């Protein structure tokens, strides 16, 4: 079967760094996406990885290891507005372009 695993909830302190992990088992692989979703709002695209390695975009970075079926999202210099759910989604090669979604990690930032 196809599956995406993420921690349900994480807590971090304002100004600190947090790493949100995502592991996946899919039928083939054709890209991994991270989205941010504030409560009651739609998901907002953060990053895309298709090759192994680190993609950096400001305070946010995303890492991919295809051989391990593993990705992480790294958030630096945490701000209160980063309190949100972070969704990992994988496009499998055989899934006709459909994304397989994790349930999301709720990140709580404390002062």
Q: Which chain residues interact with other proteins by CB under 8 A?
A: 4, 31, 33, 35, 40-45, 48, 50, 87, 89, 91, 96-99, 101-104
CB of 94 to other proteins, least distance (A): 13
Nearest distance, CB of residue 72 and other proteins, angstroms: 17
Please say whether the beta carbons of 37 and 84 come within 8 A: yes
Rounded Cα distance, 103 and 111, in Å:
26
Strands 99-101 and 18-25: unpaired
- Residue whose CB is less far from other proteins, 69 or 91: 91
Q: Residue 64 CB, nearest distance to other proteins (Å)? A: 13
Which one, 12 or 85, has the nearer CB to other proteins?
A: 85
Q: Toward other proteins, which CB reaches closer, 45 or 111?
A: 45
At 81, give phi and psi (nearest 5°): -70, -10
Q: What beta strand segments (E) does the chain contain?
A: 3-5, 9-13, 18-25, 32-37, 44-49, 53-57, 60-65, 70-75, 84-91, 99-101, 105-110
Q: How far is the CB of 37 from other proteins (least distance, A)?
A: 9
Give whichever of 8 and 67 is closer to other proteins, judged by the CB atom.
8
């Amino acid at each position: 079967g196809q599956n995406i695993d993420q921690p349900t909830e994480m807590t971090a302190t304002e100004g600190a760094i947090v790493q949100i992990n995502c592991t996946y088992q899919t039928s083939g692989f054709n890209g991994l996406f991270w989205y941010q979703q504030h409560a009651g709002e739609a998901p907002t695209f953060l990053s895309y990885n298709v090759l192994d390695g680190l993609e950096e975009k400001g305070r946010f970075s995303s890492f991919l290891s295809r051989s391990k079926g593993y990705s992480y999202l790294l958030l630096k210099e945490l701000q209160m507005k980063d309190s949100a759910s972070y969704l990992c989604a994988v496009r499998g090669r055989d899934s006709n372009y459909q994304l397989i979604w994790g349930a999301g990690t709720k990140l709580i930032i404390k002062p």
